[in-house]
Amino acid sequence: WLLPDTAARGAAVFLPAAGVARLLAADAGCGKAIALPGFLPQLVRTRGFQGVRSLAQLHMAEETAKLDTVLAFGFMSTDLTKASRVALRKYAALLVRHPTAQARIEAHAQPGAPPDLAKKLSLQRAGAAIAELAQGGVARDRLSGEAFSNL
């Protein structure tokens, strides 16, 4: 852990945020730790995630960028596709790993659906996604949903 400051900063840029967090925890109290002033902002700038204020947020941003953010349902239904269930399981695992994080589901209906039906279907789809995340171990009070009707 006693690498020269420049080497430590350069090496840390290529580590996943979770790995950097482990290094920081192991390095706590060391005179030449990688937890130098300006380390996190430099890491965030290098990774291209603006607005991140902690290593936990950076890890969430990195992992979320790897996941599919569009969920698919059966036609005019709240039945999630298999691929969407897999994606939601991955999100659930990430949220379980970060117990203070919250998630908001924004749901839509089919284009061209009647507005009153579209609003109801959108709300039910948000509920289906929330239920899947809750099944994955995420507390429901950390999850919210919003219905946007048609695309």
The domain locations on the chain are: 5-53, 67-150
Distance, CA of 7 to CA of 5 (rounded, Å): 6
Look at 19 and 114; give whichever has higher pLDDT.
114
pLDDT band at residue 127 under the 50/70/90 scheme = very high
**What's the topology of domain 67-150?**
60s Ribosomal Protein L30; Chain: A; (3.30.1330)
30 Cβ neighbours under 8 A, 6+ residues apart = 1, 2
In angstroms, the Cα distances linking 60 to 53, 84, 86, 97, 113 are 11, 19, 18, 9, 34
pLDDT for 131? 97
The pLDDT tens digits of the residues spanning 75-97 come to 888 999 999 999 999 999 999 98
Write down the pTM of the prediction. Answer: 0.68
